[in-house]
Amino acid sequence: MKSMSLYVERESTVHHIDPITKLVYIAAAIALPIILPSLHTAWICMLISFVILGMGRVLTRSLPIIGFVGFILLTVVIIQGFFHVGNETVLFRLGSWPFYEEGLLFAMGITFRALNIVGAFLILVLTTKPSDLVESLVRKGLSPRIGYVLSSVFQIIPQMMATVDTITDAQRSRGMETEGKLMTRIKAFLPLIGPVVLSSLIDTKERTLALQVRGFNVKGSKTFLNEEKMYRYGSAMRWSMLAIVIGAVIWRVIA
Amino acid sequence: MIKIQDVCFGYNEGQDVLQGLTLEFDQRTTAIIGQNGAGKTTLVKLLKGLLKPTGGDIWVAGVNSKDVTVAQLAGKIGLVFQNPNDQIFKRTVLEEVMFGPLNMKVETAAAKQQALQALEMVGLADQTDVNPHDLGLSEKKLISIASIVAMNTDIIILDEPTIAQDAAGKRRIAQIIEQLSQEGKLVMTILHDMDFVAAHFERTIVMNRGKVVLDDKTREVFSHQDLLREACLDTPYVTQLGKQWGLPETVLTTEELISAMKRPR
């Protein structure tokens, strides 16, 4: 079955860092460029995220996503370079259209911040198993029900996609054409949606029963199958990041 | 009716599920058996055109499966899926069974006639106006069989037809297979129920790891106990009983066993 997770199995220090520390990193990476809104903070934070992706040996896997986001941000650079409100200094001209320095710097700030956020999230998504993330959150007090909903999404969606394939095959076997014109595809939709919804309802009912017979609703704290994933320096890293954020706030207030 | 020439297929590159398969199917009722992962379902999907071979060719009634869409092939070969819930979506049993013939551009009146005949064959003629989802799994399975029978194809493949069937249901399915065979259709099935295979199929093909290891008359196939064991398959209980009793021949049904046991030794 196709997996919905983007997790990449690698042997690296970043993979060994616990999910909570990675979540704290995301929060810090988002907060810092906001607290210190200079261009330098933005590109330094972005660079750190990319370096961590490299250390996790997932930089290659993140390039398509970074490239896609970068392509969209290119439009920001173009629009701001030409039309930013505070534009004064002309950098170059494209025909009769002047491209301004102020607009470029403004757009670069947005671009670096956006890529920083994307990079920070990619660190979590590419180097953390979804099940580990959910289990860590449940250990930290997240409701097991919500935890189950989150983790089951990663299983149910690929399962539904497999079911859709089977159902499509079953209807094509009865002569239903699913390829070709748009109208043909629209017509093919109805015979698929009924069995898909029904299968999903049956699956949901069976999952509910399977959970109930295994004591999912029992009250009180539960034990876990896996050992809690704790990185040796995780605590030090979290406190360090908190200290940096607090330091940035103080710097902002004083300076 | 079907010719398979040197067919290879793999879901992933370099990992062939089927390797150089060459087979021909005539009108004999045929069972394909093998352990899970042997390649039975893949073979059937290839025959139906749902998958295209990565090597070799498949001709169904003279048409190369690579040259047509699944929908175009639907008029020649019918496939009853294992889980009836994968196909049922209409509000009444009759509409569900008419879905296939209408897709084949059969006139509404003729499609209704074909559907009613198919429902008569599976014993659900009195359930035409019932919502299929109000029926049990056993009856839904019969609806899915009827919906393929109504398409009047010369070849019908049944994927695990005896699942969720009680003794009466199995007898009904055996009757359907016999009737379709008498009408000159090729009835093929994938089965794990060896007793059913022994009792109702003329030819049996044993698959193991993507290859055909035995292909013969059912009685011959079930006489090769060692080869079957290698393919992780059991012989029918009645055949095992006959061997334990010391019978020299391979018996396939209870009647044959009793008859053999009554013979003076």
Residues of A with Cβ-Cβ distance to B87 under 8 angstroms: 167, 170-171, 174, 195
pLDDT for A168: 85
Query: Are B2 and B56 within one domain?
Result: yes
Distance in angstroms (rounded) separating the CA atoms of residues A199 and A203: 6
**Helix H or strand E encompassing A99:** strand A97-100
Distance in angstroms (rounded) separating the CA atoms of residues B117 and B146: 9
- Tokens of residue A109, six digits: 């700030």
Query: Are A96 and A37 within one domain?
Result: yes
Percent of chain A with pLDDT over 70: 98
Query: Are A108 and A198 within one domain?
Result: no
pLDDT band at A4, cuts 50/70/90? low
Residue A254: inside a domain:
no
Query: Are B208 and B265 within one domain?
Result: no
Query: Are A121 and A159 within one domain?
Result: no
Asked if residue A3 has pLDDT above 70, the reply is no
| Sign of CA pseudo-dihedral A189, A195, A198, A203 | negative
In this prediction, residues A168-194 reach a mean pLDDT of 79
Which of A128, A162, A194 lies at the terminal end of a domain, its last residue?
A128
Query: Are A37 and A112 within one domain?
Result: yes
The model's pLDDT over A112-166, given as tens digits with 9 standing for 90+, comes to 999 999 999 999 999 998 888 888 888 888 888 888 887 777 777 777 788 888 8
Residue B46: inside a domain:
yes
Query: Are A30 and A69 within one domain?
Result: yes
Query: Are B1 and B33 within one domain?
Result: yes
Query: Are A198 and A158 within one domain?
Result: yes
Query: Are B9 and B57 within one domain?
Result: yes
8 Å CB contact of B69 and A179: yes
pLDDT band at A13, cuts 50/70/90? very high
Residue A84: inside a domain:
yes
pLDDT for A82: 92
Burial class (CB in 10 A: 0-12, 13-18, 19+), B215: middle
Query: Are B265 and B206 within one domain?
Result: no
Residue B149: inside a domain:
no
Chain A residues 134-193 with a CB less than 8 Å from chain B = 163, 166-167, 169-179, 190-191, 193
pLDDT for A117: 94
Which regions of chain B are under pLDDT 70? Answer: 265
Query: Are A52 and A87 within one domain?
Result: yes
Asked if residue A2 has pLDDT above 60, the reply is no
Query: Are A24 and A93 within one domain?
Result: yes
- Are B161 and B191 contacting, i.e. CB atoms less than 8 angstroms apart? yes
Query: Are B6 and B63 within one domain?
Result: yes
Residue B65: inside a domain:
yes
Sheet with B55-60: strands ordered across:
B18-25, B2-9, B55-60, B63-64
CATH number of the domain enclosing B40? 3.40.50.300
Instruction: Report the number of distinct structural domains present in chain A.
Output: 2
Query: Are A113 and A161 within one domain?
Result: no
Q: Which domain holds residue A119?
A: 17-128
Distance in angstroms (rounded) separating the CA atoms of residues A6 and A4: 7
- Tokens of residue B60, six digits: 């169904």
Instruction: Report the number of distinct structural domains present in chain B.
Output: 2
Please name the residues in contact with A29: beta carbons below 8 A apart, sequence gap of 6 or more: A45, A48, A49, A116, A117, A119, A120
Residues of B with CB under 8 A from a CB of A: 45, 48, 50, 69-71, 74-75, 78-79, 81, 83, 85-89, 99-100, 103-104, 133, 147-148, 151
pLDDT for A29: 94
Residue B30: inside a domain:
yes
Higher pLDDT, A218 or A105: A105
- Are B60 and B69 contacting, i.e. CB atoms less than 8 angstroms apart? no
Residues of A with Cβ-Cβ distance to B75 under 8 angstroms: 175
pLDDT band at A20, cuts 50/70/90? very high
Residue A46: inside a domain:
yes
Query: Are A31 and A123 within one domain?
Result: yes
ipTM over 0.85: no
Q: Which domain holds residue B14?
A: 1-69+191-234
